[in-house]
Structure 1
Amino acid sequence: MTHLPADDRYENMQYRRSGRSGLKLPAISLGLWQNFGHTRPLETQRAIIRRAFDLGVTHFDLANNYGPPGGSAEQNFGTVLAEDLKAHRDEMVVSSKAGYHMWPGPYGDHGSRKYLVSSLDQSLQRMGLDYVDVFYHHRPDPETPLEETMGALDAIVRSGKALYAGVSNYNAEQVRAAAAILKDLGTPLLIDQPSYSMFNRWTERDGLLDALEEVGAGCIVFSPLAQGLLTDRYLKGIPEDSRVRTSVFLNEDALEAEKMDRVRALNDIAAARGQSLAQTALAWALRDTRMTSVIIGASSVAQLEDNIGALANLDFTDEELAAIDVHAVG
């Protein structure tokens, strides 16, 4: 079942350097958060992963708790990697994370060295890998000293089980503190992974990109399409298989009339650009050159292809950005 990748896979994808590191990531990365667990057909997952790689998507973003159930996304990715793309492992960036609840008892959550090291060992076993390229602390832990958490990331990198250290859901103040500790240890902070979209602009108010630029780290965002709100999925009602129906992270309150008016207005702006709403939302999230990558989650090859089509037009006029700002409130 070995996959023969497309010869032109690197011709159209854009790659951006992560901060001051030597690592470049595709402008659009594939996240395996909710569509790659045991609740979805493995052959659909296989088709999406193969097509993504054929389109130059070299970065596959996972975490210990991705699925559902937790752990199953890593298992399924490991199966596809072993059967289809093993010969191309060195062309890929595979990332994983730990920081949310994963197993019972006091050692299966948060930010202790005990949890992070154990979780990564489990992740590597599930994926059939000797190392991941990037290992993240998934969320700040107010109870564990940051020195311990960053010390664990440093030890993991030095052990060879990860090539780079990252953090996720860290704000500007937390990034500066984490990066300073890692710098002293000799393992630079590679990247931060926050949430960000037209409807979720907290990173701008926080000055996160400025902080990341100061410390030499990159930025890769998740949920750039606001869990599907910034697509055409809900313009004509709520599909039964949509995130609103199937996810605990999005509910019908998010579709109240005022917000849907904004979605329609943004859709009109996208249409005038010759793009789908999703494409414009992704291009908008990438408008700052300090943004290393955006993570998409695809449930079909067609959705994947539409999203990557955003790269055909990443430029905005001042008038377009001003029009978007009227409706992109969050």
Structure 2
Amino acid sequence: MYLANENRYESMIYNRCGKSGLKLPAVSLGLWHNWGGIDNYENAKAMSQRAFDLGITHFDLANNYGPPAGSAESNFGKILSEGMGAYRDEMIISSKAGYDMWPGPYGEWGSRKYMIASCDQSLKRMGLDYIDVFYSHRFDPETPLEETMGALDTIVRSGRALYAGISSYDAENTKKAAAILKDLGTPCLIHQPSYSMFDRWVEDDLLNAVKEEGMGCISFSSLAQGLLTDKYLNGIPADSRAAKSAGALDASLVNEVNVAKIKALNDLAQSRGQNLSQMAIAWVLRQPAMTSVILGASKVKHIEDAVAGLNNLNFTNEELDAIDLILK
């Protein structure tokens, strides 16, 4: 039987999520990859337990995570049933709906039909009475935003979820979504966008919009699907995402220009007493609007490294200027 580390809350940083009463760990664990039916279950279980032992209380999923779709939630439900579920009240478990999940016209996007059915399916797969945060995974250009946000409101009011969130919405639709939810009486808790040194689109308008609306912000792909690690400094490893035919990282991105950048960034990280992935996480968390970073991991060591990196979150102006110069 799993027994959590008694000292799990001593070193983790917890940040308030916008203007809500909820706090999230500075590093959250994402189950997008390596928790699916094709993956090693015991490794997924070990990573989940070690994350919680290190104070990571937030576990981020979506209905389509796997592969196959749904299997990450099913495996996480099994992990909970095998001991971690005893600590359910100490956890924030999130899931999402928006991408292709089942055949037919009701299996993706943002209709009320899809959103509520998907939430019910997620609850069953994980064996939960409620989900802490349920997201609209992507903006649906063909469904009225009022319908999608109304579905989130129903999901919260019915007790299926405690909070509502959105993911990958642009600044304009973020503001519209927040206004609709506010009028319904279910504030939008959080926005989940991609954000990394190589993907800075949120800096244009979104971070300001999130701050103005009193929402939290939690980033995904902050290691650029592994590109912002030391993994690709000397080519493409056989077990990497870039080496997989259906991997999340396009192998063409591991090119001469990008490798030169990550080598320069790696040198800067070492001068800070960090590895590249630790500095990449710290760089995202430097933003005042950023509540947490979702970490994708394939080994327990990746989780341990990420948490250890929280010991150095500060940057000098010279370091930030150097990073900008490298990324030009």
TM bucket, shorter chain: over 0.9
- 1:100, 1:145 → 2: CA distance? 17
Runs (4+) of structure 1 exceeding 2 A deviation are none
Matched letter for residue 55 of structure 2: G
Q: Which amino acid aligns with 1:224?
A: S
Q: Determine the C-alpha separation between the residues in 2 that align with 1:251 and 1:214.
A: 35
User: Secondary structure in 2 aligned to 1:278?
Assistant: helix
Task: Name the structure 2 match of 1:105.
Answer: 104
Aligned to 1:130: 129
Identity %: 63
Per the alignment, residue 37 of structure 1 pairs with 36
Tell me the equivalent position of 1:262.
261
Greater displacement, 320-329 / 253-262: 320-329
Paired amino acid for 1:146: L
Residues 66-119 of structure 1: per-residue CA shift (max 9 Å, x gap)? 011110000000000111211110000000000000000000000000000000
Matched, 1:217 2:215: yes
**1:313 partner amino acid:** N
Deviation string, structure 1 residues 114-133 (Cα, Å, up to 9, x no partner)? 00000010000000001000
Give runs of aligned pairs for residues 168-179 of structure 1, distance below 5 A: 168-179=167-178
The one of 227, 231, 235 equivalent to 1:229 is 227
What per-residue deviation string (whole Å, max 9, x for no partner) do you get for residues 282-326 of structure 1?
A: 000000122000001111111111122210100000100100111
- Encode CA deviations 1:10-65: one digit per residue, 9 max, x unaligned: 00000111110011000000000011001111111110000000000000000000
Q: Which residue number in structure 2 is paired with residue 272 of structure 1?
A: 271
- The alpha carbon displacement at 1:237 in A equals 1.1
Letter in 2 for 1:163: L
1-side partners of 2:232 and 2:41: how far apart? 27
Matched letter for residue 219 of structure 1: C
CA distance in 2, matches of 1:233, 1:174: 36
Q: Deviations over 1:140-192 (max 9, x none)?
A: 00000000000000010000000000000011111100000000000000000
> How does the TM-score come out when normalised to structure 2?
0.98
Counterpart check, 1:84 vs 2:83? yes
**Structure 1 position 8 matched with structure 2 position 39:** no
CA RMSD after TM alignment: 0.8
User: Secondary structure of 2:82's match?
Assistant: helix
Partner residue, 1:238: 236
- Equivalents in 2 of 1:64, 1:274: separation in Å? 38
Q: 2:291 aligns to what SS in structure 1? A: strand
How far the C-alpha of 1:249 sits from its partner, in A, is 2.8
3-state DSSP class of the match of 1:97? Answer: strand
Match of 2:159 in 1: 160
What is the TM-score when the length of structure 1 is the normalising length? Answer: 0.98
Q: Is the 8 A contact 2:236 2:254 kept in 1?
A: no
For residues 131 and 94 of structure 1, the distance between their equivalents in structure 2, rounded to whole angstroms, comes to: 9
For 2:160 and 2:326, the matched residues in 1 are separated by: 44
| Superposed displacement of residue 328, structure 1 | 3.1
Alpha-carbon contact 2:34-2:40 (below 8 Å) kept: no
* Separation of aligned partners in 2, 1:44 and 1:231: 20
Check conservation: 2:69, 2:101, Cα contact below 8 A. yes
Q: Contact 2:229/2:275 (CA < 8 Å) preserved in 1? A: yes
CA distance in 2, matches of 1:183, 1:212: 14
Query: How do 1:173-322 residues align onto structure 2 when only pairs under 5 Å count?
Result: 173-205=172-204, 207-246=205-244, 247-322=246-321
Amino acid at match of 2:141: P
5 Å-filtered alignment, 1:42-81, equals 42-81=41-80
Amino acid at match of 2:296: G
What CA distance in whole angstroms lies between the structure 2 residues aligned with 1:245 and 1:325?
29
Q: Secondary structure at the match of 1:291?
A: coil
Larger deviation, residues 239-248 vs 294-303: 239-248
Cα distance between partner residues in 1 of 2:146 and 2:250: 38
**How far apart in 2 are the matches of 1:231 and 1:161?**
37
Cα separation, 2, equivalents of 1:291 and 1:97: 20
CA distance in 2, matches of 1:310, 1:210: 26
Distance in 2 of aligned mates of 1:162 and 1:125: 13
